[in-house]
Structure 1
Amino acid sequence: MVAAQPPVRPAWHAAEPDSAFVRLWLGFATARVCIGVALLLLLVIVKTLGSQPGVSGWLLGMCATYLLAALAVRLLVRPPRPGHAFDPQWVSSIGVDLLVFAALQLLQVGGIYYAPLFAVPVLMAAVLGSTVLALGTAAGAALLLLAEAWVLTLQVPGDLTQRFLQAGLTGIGFFALAFLAHQLALRLAREEEAGRASRRAATMQVQVNQLVIDTLTDGVLVVDPDGRVHAANPAARDLLFAPPAAPLQLDAEPAWEPLVEMARRTFAGGEAQMADIAIQRPGEAARQMYARTCLTAPQEPGGDSLCVVFLHDLREMEARLRTEKLAAMGRMSTAVAHEIRNPLAAISQANELLAEDLEQPAHRQLSAMVKQNAQRLQQIVEEILDVARVQHQAVNLSTPTLALDADVRGHCDDWIGQHRSAGRVQLALAAPGSAVWFEPDHLRRVLVNLLDNALRYASQREDAIQVATEGGEAPTLVVWSDGPGLDPAVEWHLFEPFFSSESRSSGLGLYICRQLCERHGASIGYRRGPAPAGDRRNGNAFFVAFRTAPPATATVAFARMAA
């Protein structure tokens, strides 16, 4: 069964400062002040002229008191929450109106008919109050008029039927007025709530659109026929060398002339324009970009359209194309490596067998060259296949955490023994109690790759290579070498596959390190800085920041990565 939903309350139960009902309340309060002024002036004039008896001082005082009370309500009282059936503020306004107008009508002061004044409290109750308050106020006004007719009949005998009929018809008119005004108020409340909901939806949509446009990597400009830019996202300002928040005028910068010409052709022909353009300012490198324009529909009949300019940085497009090419090259290289591995093994084995029967030094030298290049090819093949293994090998989430210092020391000792570099490598392990979540074999591969890379560029000093660890919430491994600094172009693509500054390298070592780190929730990076041992030499430092526990979403992340 579906649970019963609570009834929807009218929108005016929570009147806002800009609500139409607040403005109506202020209008009624102002009308009461005007009525008080008119009554006081009218009675003063009648008393001054002396044309009608019965205007006493206490009546003038009552009208003056009513005026002051109405003025105080208008100036000092805040608008109440509409829709209430009864509260002290309604008594201080509607109740006072009924009593004052009834007293004036009963006494017939100055021979004036005051019954139409009852329309003010009836309307106020019908528009701002509930149904009960509206009908109750109309009933009160009708009863007061009937009571006034009965009192007049007792004082001055006459046509009883005519007086009661007049009072009854007036009361019926008040009932009809209250009912119709209340229905109109309900409709206004529904329309106001619908308008408020539409405004909230429109505001939310505008905010979402603005957020999407601001986060786009492509530039977006909105230009009018005069060249004034109505909107520009941060990417467009960056591409145009424009300040972050200053207003833009396309024809104000000579460097933006290609965009001005494209916008002019778009407005003139009404068709989209596409072109490759270059934006260059003095002292800045030219930025190549692909620009595309289109016209919006006019905002009103006969109005002007706006030109939307989309700017695509060709560097980003080339980077995406390069990434796609690298991915395709990786798939092809893996397939080729599988095919090369078996013939290469046969060549190496045949060379070993042939080397056993060679006696001449020249022949042995040639056999050694074959062996050396075969080993190089074997290493390249293994690195290419490592990329495929890293991308498809599942990580064992139940792998226990390993002791960082102990594993790093063991792997470094093995590497030092293989490369006979005991004097060139210095260990500074300062995380004895740190346990990290990492496959031991994967950690060995990362550390060996970083040490091989450091050995390739380090000097011959005894402490040219330093391996350090640091504890804390995110334990860190640092492999530092005193080699020369990297070129900015090399540093930018350092961890990309098949990128290397050497012709004899496959460019896959650092890429494999990054893949292994990402699969374990760790991060790898590069910085140029001083040695971990504390001396002032600058060098190249590769650092790995580990996780101390497997991420909660590791299963999903690795499943996606394997797919």
Structure 2
Amino acid sequence: MNAVAPAFDGLEQTRRVSLRYLNVFRLILAGLFVVAGQELNLGGESPRVFLGAAVVYLTAVLLLGFPDAIQRLGFDRVAALQGVIDIVALAVLMWASGGYRSGVPLLLMTVVLAGSGLVSRERTVLFHAALATVLVLSENTWRFISGGWPADFFQVGIACAGFFAIAVIARLLARRAQANEALARRRGAELASQQAINERIIRDLQDGVIVLDAEGRIRHANARASNLLGIDLPEGALLSELDAFLAARTVERGREDSLTRLGRARRSLRCRTVEAGGDGDTVIYTVIYLSDFEEIQRQIQQLKLAALGRLTASMAHEIRNPLSAVSQAAELLLDENRRDMQARLVRIINDNAGRIERMVRDVLALGRRDEALPDTVPLNEFVGGLVDQLCLGCGEEERRIFQIDIAADVSFSADRTHLQQILVNLLDNARRHCSGAPGSIRIRAETDTPGVVILHVSDDGPGVSEADRAKIFEPFFTSHPKGTGLGLYIARELAEANGAVLELAPGEGGAHFTLTGRSTS
């Protein structure tokens, strides 16, 4: 019912507009009769009657043309009354101008009937056509009695039939136009309702949504997108001016999903773009979906807690093996008298004890991940000192495999102990797999984005196979026979505890890890 009422009001408004234009035409017509009737060769048989009828017609048009007349009498009554006045006035003017053969009144009568078909009801339109027919026939009958030609009745009959044809056709066209307008208004109301529902759904989505036109201007953006990016997204603004990186990423990636740090807050977001409303190669709209990957990571963290039991079971299994080796070696050591065999058994005991100690140390570090004490760490000095510790007791050639490319003013916001453990794990892995040539391990810092620093650790070794990339950060996954499989897992957990992200960068060649965090420089 709500959609029908606006459509009905729209039809009435259309009829009112049509009547307003018809009144303007009546006013011009009546004024033309009063001012220039004689110049148009009208009123030749009775100038006084013609002038009087024209003045009365002009007065009636003025009186019924004001909005007060519609308010007092009603729209339908005013439309019907004006049609009657038009026909009667034109019939009198036609009589005063020589009858049917004057031509112009008959043509104007036709125009008036067509106008009546646009604004009046069906029965009223037929009544106007019948009234015009009666008056024209009566006027022609009077002339025939006064000595006119009988042949005029044939022409007058054709004209009267034309009155009805014009009235009916005009009414049918008006009805069709009104039906189309009602349909358009109803569809418009449905479209507006659907648009309101869509906007409500988009506004309540957990994902951010940005709609761009072909020029890259924002047509719509929900509040979630502004919160995720940390910037206002006003309608009509160019996205490239607000966030050039996101705009370029959208053009570059197209429909491909990508996980990127975006916006001022540098949140980890999954960006997906969809082209909509296009035809062929033409794109009308581009829809950008932004998913908060950090929220997903928090949910993953809850799953990690649920998997703590499985981790404990795995720990027990991993510790049982070296403990069995230690126990067996200790029993054999009691019965063994040969020195070389004793040294071998002691070495087995020490190796397995060290393995257990490293495993316990890694697990303790995992338990202390929530005890991060953020500090401003100057990266160049910190990494240089860490490399010196790793190369302590080694020759100069061992020191040359590390190439540090970090500006002196670059800093990293993190817990010093956590950052040291992260880098030790990365550098130990790199030194284990690199070629050993000078500069085979490269450590560099990237500070292209204000407030963000990306630390790269790469080597020239064989790299990580495609099959192992998905498992490299899983606990107890290792390709080294003496490794515990907890190094990279603990490193990533400590990075997340400090608001940083440790990732394995794509690409061929050696392993390439990136540590992205906040910079205070």
Query: TM-score, normalising length from structure 1?
Result: 0.48
- Superposed CA deviations along residues 14-50 of structure 1, whole A, max 9, x for unmatched, are 445763x333223322221222133223324369xx9
State how 1:150-229 maps to structure 2 within 5 Å: 150-155=141-146, 157-159=147-149, 161-224=150-213, 226-229=215-218
Assess, with a 3 A threshold, how the Cα gap between structure 1 residues 109 and 13 changes in structure 2: closer, same or farther: farther
State how 1:157-556 maps to structure 2 within 5 Å: 157-159=147-149, 161-224=150-213, 226-243=215-232, 245=234, 248-253=237-242, 256-266=243-253, 271-279=254-262, 281=264, 285-298=265-278, 303-323=282-302
Number of residue pairs matched by the alignment: 307
Which letter does structure 2 place at the counterpart of 1:216? L
CA contact (8 A) 2:87 2:132 kept: yes
Post-superposition offset of 1:147: 0.6
- Superposed CA deviations along residues 513-533 of structure 1, whole A, max 9, x for unmatched, are xxxxxxxxxxxxxxxxxxxxx
The residue aligned with 2:23 is: 29
CA contact (8 A) 1:228 1:248 kept: yes
Assess, with a 3 A threshold, how the Cα gap between structure 1 residues 16 and 321 changes in structure 2: closer, same or farther: farther
Tell me which of 95, 98, 107 is aligned to 1:106.
95
**Fraction of identical pairs, as percent:** 23
- 1:41 and 2:21 are equivalent in the alignment: no
State how 1:44-83 maps to structure 2 within 5 Å: 44-45=38-39, 52=44, 54-56=46-48, 59-76=50-67
Post-superposition offset of 1:231: 1.7
Assess, with a 3 A threshold, how the Cα gap between structure 1 residues 24 and 325 changes in structure 2: closer, same or farther: farther
Query: TM-score, normalising length from structure 2?
Result: 0.51
CA distance in 2, matches of 1:80, 1:183: 27
Post-superposition offset of 1:107: 2.3
CA distance in 1, matches of 2:157, 2:282: 58
Which letter does structure 2 place at the counterpart of 1:221? I
CA contact (8 A) 1:121 1:137 kept: no
For the residue of structure 2 that corresponds to 1:217, the secondary structure is coil
For the residue of structure 2 that corresponds to 1:176, the secondary structure is helix
The residue aligned with 1:146 is: 137
CA distance in 2, matches of 1:332, 1:139: 98
Assess, with a 3 A threshold, how the Cα gap between structure 1 residues 166 and 13 changes in structure 2: closer, same or farther: farther
Between 215-224 and 64-73, the greater mean CA deviation after superposition? 64-73
Runs of 5+ in structure 2 lacking a partner? Answer: 313-521
CA distance in 2, matches of 1:88, 1:297: 49
CA distance in 2, matches of 1:234, 1:26: 46
CA contact (8 A) 1:46 1:52 kept: no
Assess, with a 3 A threshold, how the Cα gap between structure 1 residues 263 and 12 changes in structure 2: closer, same or farther: closer
For the residue of structure 1 that corresponds to 2:39, the secondary structure is helix
The residue aligned with 1:117 is: 108
Which letter does structure 2 place at the counterpart of 1:112? S
Which letter does structure 2 place at the counterpart of 1:220? V
CA contact (8 A) 1:228 1:249 kept: yes
Assess, with a 3 A threshold, how the Cα gap between structure 1 residues 45 and 238 changes in structure 2: closer, same or farther: same
CA RMSD of aligned residues (A): 3.8
Post-superposition offset of 1:203: 1.1
CA distance in 2, matches of 1:93, 1:275: 70
For the residue of structure 1 that corresponds to 2:37, the secondary structure is helix
CA distance in 2, matches of 1:30, 1:310: 55
- Superposed CA deviations along residues 452-502 of structure 1, whole A, max 9, x for unmatched, are xxxxxxxxxxxxxxxxxxxxxxxxxxxxxxxxxxxxxxxxxxxxxxxxxxx
Post-superposition offset of 1:213: 0.8
Post-superposition offset of 1:141: 0.6
Which letter does structure 2 place at the counterpart of 1:101? L
CA contact (8 A) 1:280 1:286 kept: yes
CA contact (8 A) 1:11 1:192 kept: no
Which letter does structure 1 place at the counterpart of 2:239? L
CA distance in 2, matches of 1:46, 1:260: 70
Runs of 5+ in structure 1 lacking a partner? Answer: 1-8, 334-563
Assess, with a 3 A threshold, how the Cα gap between structure 1 residues 91 and 205 changes in structure 2: closer, same or farther: closer
The residue aligned with 1:342 is: none
CA distance in 2, matches of 1:108, 1:53: 6
Assess, with a 3 A threshold, how the Cα gap between structure 1 residues 144 and 209 changes in structure 2: closer, same or farther: same
The residue aligned with 1:411 is: none
